[in-house]
Chain A
């Protein structure tokens, strides 16, 4: 990556409007890059997680106690622990983690579908202003229809398997990502744009060398927001369309008065959501460290 960037007009150069001899800046980024930044960002992300987990578990327990929710329905943290690791634990773990695997797969499909579509459409928006003026209101209109209402139609058109999951999950991720990425692409520095134009570059070159690197922080910001929403999308798709995974399992467990399973499902989904968020955070700081110096 560093090599490729070296040849191009550097992002940081572009932003400040200076043209420096190439080697110096990239060399610094590459050297400090992989090792230290990886550790530092990992610590920065994982460090606050431990207290966060403690607060969540304590809040869970206190909430149930404060409102006097019966332990038959509102399972306490240690009951979930027993369910997963003590009594008949292997069968329970099979049920919960089997469903979790499906949900993670569904969320990944929705996340990818939504992010790719959002980036493609955002690029189209930036390249062709009229496209944005025509489609943005339509997109917002669609956005305001509740997904739960649209799902029966989506399943009718796209079926109840992975295509349906991709569309339902994609919709959840798509809109916030679209707005963010389009904004990021458009905040490219005018000086850098002028520079490329002056050297005879076209709009595509501007997009490639200025707008895309500038948009990187926005892309990752929307990726981070999209991780939890992609899981929500996957749960909706599973509940209403596929009938697999946690989204379906959790409601069936309620129907079967298996509240141990319900709470275990909630715990693992939450954990996966937090971990995925953290992973995107680490990747983000690694990529941004190389791509732009805005965050250094």
Chain B
């Protein structure tokens, strides 16, 4: 991928003004990561999977406490996600970003289409995807979806289809309604439920005085990881040390984030996601909830982001249920993370 970009970059230097913007990132990834030191690894772009809320607390710590800098990066630019056209997979394929936070259900189809991508770590050991509904009109079982109006974001297309397939529900029996990110569509009666993160919607609704209930995808045939670090195969092959340095900074950031939900929330609401009008109290609740997904017993024992071989197998089986027949070695490469922890066992939690 990067060679293509580099070539294109050279070819279009005539159109430098325009081309620079597009090729800038590819240019970065082309420079091989050598040693550490201040800024020696240059600047990279991290494409987030969603808007800058507390979901990325670890990244905020790594940035504000200088862990990225200490690892040798002059800058790690956090690119907000959530809109159309900000998918990590297309970003990596076109060289718009160097690394991204995505999910196996999104990465697997890209891999099956021939994109040379790999997941090298998983922030959320359990995926927080859920159908959120109101307690007075609850959806607690996949069978209860039939005949209901469900809001699904376009970016959650695959996770949604996976849930239906894994539970043998005919897509035609559920009315799918276009949905952006506004849980108030539940209270206004336009929706019976929507696909969202269990960490955010229910907390928000509760703050508005509405009781919500949820159906976790992980409990209904889809025990998948989420917020997965995704890179191109080329990055693994040619910039392994740079990737290790990056993951080290991420681990440090997330250790801080896990330890301090209140500070995580404050950073999301007051600094990084300032223009999103986030509520600190609400974000704190979310941070506490997501800790349960990030710090599982396995993560405690083996280190953050790690995946046991059982977990990988579970993920592959879930993907197969969704009709995505991908092999573990096509999608996951946890060896880089293992090397990071071997080199510095003190990075582990306990």
Binding site for B on A (CB under 8 A): 65-70, 72-74, 152, 155-156, 160, 239-243, 248, 251-252, 254-259
Contact = CB atoms under 8 A, between A and B. Distances in A.
15 contacts: A66-B12, A67-B19, A72-B114, A73-B90, A239-B178, A240-B178, A241-B178, A248-B154, A252-B154, A254-B84, A254-B87, A255-B157, A255-B158, A256-B109, A257-B87
B1 A243 contact: no
Secondary structure at the A interface, as helix, strand, loop or mixed, is: helix
Contacts of B84: 251, 254
B215 to A, nearest CB: 21
Contacts of A254: 84-85, 87, 90, 154
B64 interface: no
Interface stretch (B2-10, B72-80, B271-279): B2-10
Contacts of A156: 188, 190
B109 A67 contact: no
The interface size bin for chain B is 35 or more
A255 B156 contact: yes
Contact of B12 (A67, A73, A242): A67
Residue from A155, A242, A252, A257 with most neighbouring chain B CB atoms (10 Å): A257
The 5 closest A-B pairs by CB, nearest first: A68-B8, A255-B157, A251-B154, A257-B110, A243-B178
A72 B5 CA distance: 13
A225 B95 CA distance: 37
Contacts of B234: none
A6 B176 CA distance: 56
A68 B188 CA distance: 46
Contacts of B113: 72, 257-259
Contacts of A74: 94
B349 interface: no
Nearest to A70: B93
A255 B158 CA distance: 7
A70 B12 contact: no
Nearest to B110: A257
B347 interface: no
